[in-house]
Amino acid sequence: MPKKIGRQTLCFDNAYIIEGFSIAGPKERDGNFGSYFDICLDDDKFGEKTFEKAECKMFKTAIDEILKKGQIHPDNIETVLGGDLLNQIISASFCMREYDASFIGLYNACGTFAESLLLGSALVDGGYKDNLICISGSHFSTAERQYRYPLELGVLRAPVSQWTATGVGASVVSSFKNRKICRVTKATAGRVIDFGVRDVNNMGAAMAPAACDTICQFFRDTKTTPDDYDKIFTGDLGRLGKKILKDLLREQEIDLDGKLEDCGDVLFKEEQQTNQGGSGAACSAILFNSFILDKFKKREYEKILLVGTGALLSSITSFQGESIPCIAHCLEISL
């Protein structure tokens, strides 16, 4: 099979996901997927002095536990690819002090997990690595402090806002076929799309055009249609963003009715008052590494798309009057 189709799509023959792991916070435990997560925290400070240290500890826990769960010796993991939402991706970077694997730091906001799977699959499929970990996560309280307001202020949340998920998701991508749960078979790397949205509360509206662009490109490149997939999971557009994406795709004559699920839309229960649903680099990472992999284990999914979406703003760019450029990377995951 060719290794590429068109400008944006990569093809993989030998990139197997052999293990997945998810750790999540108490609010995520009480959401729709609590029973699927490997570890749920009762205290989202995780016994640490600060929320930042708690986020870092979730990364360490995810790496330690995925190795145990998969009975993989740490020496067999060659590289960890990943990142988080904090300035200088400190949660991923600081966690990596504890390990002998090399580290590739990534940042595509909430699309970082999809980015890590794209690159990790290329490194494994290309023969450069045999086993590596793709990882990403976020924490509600560190994200609020950094991007919005200190929690203590009790600022009212806008109706269009989403709730940053607390958690870390990790996958082991491997060249060893006999242990596979599923395969990463294709990946479309996304372009940066900016539709001029300036409302930092409304990430769904900002990110939907990027998701639309990448999904259309994927279908064009691979000559597939939504009918070829059991489900199409977007990262964290939330309820409003999902609606916008459906409208945008309909303009392109692509109908995802009955196929489209958004990780942000479904993560929390209606009564949990998250407004538009979940978001954050944890959102698609923990759902993929629990519920979605479980469906593959049970052979209830044969082929899905995972479309990680990210809003690439910072607080400085918003202060300087900039709009919000966004990105989406699309992965085809097959049994």
Nearer to a copy of itself, 97 or 223 (CB): 97
CB-neighbour burial class of residue 93 (10 A; exposed 0-12, middle 13-18, buried 19+): middle
Q: Indicate whether 93 belongs to the interface with a copy of itself (CB under 8 A).
A: yes
Q: Indicate whether 83 belongs to the interface with a copy of itself (CB under 8 A).
A: yes
- Segment contacting a copy of itself by CB under 8 A, of 22-30, 64-72, 91-99, 238-246: 91-99
Using CB under 8 A, which of 29, 30, 69, 126 touches a copy of itself? 126
Q: Tell me the chain's radius of gyration from C-alpha atoms.
A: 18
Instruction: Of 250, 335, 323, 285, give the one whose Cα is nearest residue 38.
Output: 285
Range 134-193, binding a copy of itself (CB under 8 A): 146, 188-193
> Binding marks (x or -) toward a copy of itself, 8..37, rule CB under 8 A?
x-x---------------------------
- Segment contacting a copy of itself by CB under 8 A, of 39-47, 124-132, 252-260, 295-303: 124-132
Q: Indicate whether 106 belongs to the interface with a copy of itself (CB under 8 A).
A: yes
Instruction: Of 260, 264, 261, give the one whose Cα is nearest residue 279.
Output: 264
Q: Indicate whether 315 belongs to the interface with a copy of itself (CB under 8 A).
A: yes
CB-neighbour burial class of residue 30 (10 A; exposed 0-12, middle 13-18, buried 19+): middle
Nearer to a copy of itself, 49 or 299 (CB): 49
Nearer to a copy of itself, 97 or 298 (CB): 97
CA distance 12 to 192: 24
- Segment contacting a copy of itself by CB under 8 A, of 238-246, 250-258, 274-282, 315-323: 315-323
Q: Indicate whether 90 belongs to the interface with a copy of itself (CB under 8 A).
A: yes
CA distance 245 to 226: 14
Nearer to a copy of itself, 150 or 159 (CB): 150
> Is 39 in contact with 55 (CB distance < 8 Å)?
no
Q: Indicate whether 104 belongs to the interface with a copy of itself (CB under 8 A).
A: yes
CA distance 210 to 199: 16
Instruction: Of 272, 271, 266, give the one whose Cα is nearest residue 290.
Output: 266
- Number of residues in contact with a copy of itself, rule: CB under 8 A? 63
CA distance 7 to 97: 36
CA-based angle 317:318:322, to the nearest 5? 70
Nearer to a copy of itself, 66 or 77 (CB): 77
